[in-house]
Structure 1
Amino acid sequence: MRPSPIDLRTSVAYDVLALEAAGGYEAVLLSPVAPLGVSSVLAPGSQDRILSTIRGSEVVSDATNVLALECATRLRRTPTAHVRLCTVHQLLRMQPTGDGTGHTKHFRLLMLAEAGAGLPEDGFEVDAVVAQLRVYRRLLESAAHAHGLAWERPVAVVRYDDALPAIGPRVRTALERAFPDVEIREEPLASGYYRGLRVGYGVHDRAGELREIVDLGVFDWVAQLTSNRRHRYVASAIGLQLMPLLLSER
């Protein structure tokens, strides 16, 4: 219930930069609440970390799930559509935050979501990964210019497992072509939250520490919601309040 450590004017300025960077995505303004169970039923999350209400709803703790509902609704109307959505939202999670700098129970994210019919050789997923990372790269570059953020040596960490065994090398090849200055690392995926692929994107701060502030992944939620196994869903987020807290020179 305490205010954010980020000044409101600073937060609004980063909202503007974020939405400008995501110009190719339809911007949606989400409700502060979502249907009860959208996180713990649709995704493997615990209801204990979510603030539930007495009216069959919950405060949004992960807009990835809410955007999946919106994507599924649109694909039910038009199964062949390619849905591209973005939002900036203040999330609330009830679990302890730990000692990490800038981590609070309510925080602001830019979130991107893409859903549509699958393509051969994981083409939908690979294209979505590259497109979404381009947005975050534009945002980081704009913030460096407008607000004096200091960052260097970007890194992408590609994590995958046996659920999608071929996607990791395909994503790595695409990232090497799209971002020749980015160091690409590979690691095994050790999380049941994603379906086969998770990509982290980070930059080094002025002290040389890697700050992985972008999280991106593949999910099967839209396929479940539409009862169509051909439907794919790729979503990601960047911590907007972490950018000035971790990367500012001022």
Structure 2
Amino acid sequence: MKKIGKHIINKLDLQDIVDVLSDKLSGSELSTVLLDVFDKRIKRENPASLLNKYEANILVKPIDIDVVKIKEYELYCYKALADGGFEPMELSPVAQIGTSSVVATVDQKKVLTALRNTEVQADPTNAIALHYASLKKKGELKNRTYNYCNISRVIRTQAFLNPIFTPHFSVLCLISCGRDTGSFNFEKEELLKQMLSSYAICREVFGLQDAYFEIIPCKGYDKKSSLIVDATSYIRENNKQIFQVSIVEPDCENNYYKGYRIKLKIVLDGSVYEIGDGGLLDWTQQLLANKKERMLTMGLGFQTAYRLSEKYGKR
């Protein structure tokens, strides 16, 4: 992508244009210029060209899915999660520009950047972290842990090698934000809460019965680290053997999660499907400049779970 951009700039002899647009203009000034640019470009279009461009654009196509059924699943999930202590949130279809890349490790080029200082929603987790941090900064939250949930259709612009992956898809997110209270209490208690809720969603909503969790130590931690040992012991002691959890080999290359990563997997007809991914993040620490802040997330492939449920589920 960078090479293509440089080629275009060199071809048109516009070496300074990127610096001018990125460094010399304020956000509102840049939006005004780009609005004028796109207004002029759109005025050159006609119905025939619009249709041709629609047909060539994979980002804008609807997907083949039973809308009524998947919306019913969404409602079941929201009700179950609300009963489990997670506050459902309805997010804007756009987020503040930089939401996906400033505190996380996502390349902005994989996000559909829009005008007026926004980007199309790419990950509800990031948007909710920003919402929580804003409320916390303004003193509108009490000193306790807040649990949120959201189901959104998000869009990613990177190329997918797997033909079953679509540019836009539904994802279910669980987000827990709060303060460190010592003895890894947040890291243990919120992990158990998210595991219980996501496990219940798999079994009771989607009918995917054979599910289990893996805890993956991240950079700086291993199977013997106190955080990993304490969290795993707590889960095993308090889930009443509802589900299985195991510690797997550390992922020392991962820079996204901090401490541990979680994976939720299901077994169907002898095949294993990874359906959930999450872990500890330092995003609220960065946003609030406070090392005492804690954040845990779990993202479940809602659309994938729905398709597997329709094929294999026993609800």
Question: Is residue 232 of structure 2 the alignment partner of residue 172 of structure 1?
Answer: yes
Other-structure match for 1:35: 96
Letter in 2 for 1:110: L
State the Cα distance separating 1:49 from its structure 2 match.
0.7
Larger Rg: 2
How many residues are matched? 243
Q: Greater helix percent: which structure?
A: 2
Question: Quick one: distance in 1 between partners of 2:312 and 2:198?
Answer: 19
Secondary structure of the structure 2 residue equivalent to 1:120? coil
* Aligned-CA RMSD value: 1.8
8 Å contact kept, 1:88–1:110: yes
Query: Aligned in 2, Cα 1:140/1:158: closer, same or farther, shift over 3 Å?
Result: same
State the Cα distance separating 1:242 from its structure 2 match.
0.6
Query: Aligned in 2, Cα 1:58/1:87: closer, same or farther, shift over 3 Å?
Result: same
Question: Quick one: distance in 2 between partners of 1:235 and 1:124?
Answer: 12
Other-structure match for 1:16: 75
State the Cα distance separating 1:161 from its structure 2 match.
2.9
Question: Quick one: distance in 1 between partners of 2:227 and 2:256?
Answer: 17
Secondary structure of the structure 2 residue equivalent to 1:228? coil
Question: Quick one: distance in 1 between partners of 2:202 and 2:74?
Answer: 12
8 Å contact kept, 1:201–1:212: yes
Give the TM-score normalised by the residue count of structure 1: 0.90
Question: Is residue 90 of structure 2 the alignment partner of residue 90 of structure 1?
Answer: no
Other-structure match for 1:110: 172
State the Cα distance separating 1:112 from its structure 2 match.
1.0
Other-structure match for 1:223: 285
Other-structure match for 2:132: 71
Other-structure match for 2:28: none
Q: Greater strand percent: which structure?
A: 1
Question: Quick one: distance in 1 between partners of 2:205 and 2:125?
Answer: 24
Question: Quick one: distance in 1 between partners of 2:247 and 2:152?
Answer: 30
Gaps of 5+ in 2: 1-59
Query: Aligned in 2, Cα 1:179/1:246: closer, same or farther, shift over 3 Å?
Result: farther
Other-structure match for 2:199: 137
Letter in 1 for 2:257: Y
Query: Aligned in 2, Cα 1:157/1:179: closer, same or farther, shift over 3 Å?
Result: farther
Secondary structure of the structure 1 residue equivalent to 2:183? helix
State the Cα distance separating 1:237 from its structure 2 match.
1.2
For residue 216 of structure 2, the aligned residue among 156, 159, 182 is: 159
Gaps of 5+ in 1: none
Question: Is residue 190 of structure 2 the alignment partner of residue 128 of structure 1?
Answer: yes
8 Å contact kept, 1:223–1:231: yes
Query: Aligned in 2, Cα 1:185/1:65: closer, same or farther, shift over 3 Å?
Result: same
For residue 7 of structure 1, the aligned residue among 32, 49, 66 is: 66
Question: Quick one: distance in 1 between partners of 2:271 and 2:232?
Answer: 23
Query: Aligned in 2, Cα 1:56/1:150: closer, same or farther, shift over 3 Å?
Result: closer
Question: Quick one: distance in 2 between partners of 1:136 and 1:127?
Answer: 14
Secondary structure of the structure 2 residue equivalent to 1:108? strand
State the Cα distance separating 1:150 from its structure 2 match.
4.5
For residue 260 of structure 2, the aligned residue among 175, 192, 197 is: 197
Q: Which runs of 4+ in 1 moved over 4 A?
A: none
> Kindly, what percent of the aligned residue pairs are identical?
25
Query: Aligned in 2, Cα 1:231/1:13: closer, same or farther, shift over 3 Å?
Result: same
Question: Quick one: distance in 2 between partners of 1:108 and 1:40?
Answer: 20
Query: Aligned in 2, Cα 1:64/1:150: closer, same or farther, shift over 3 Å?
Result: closer
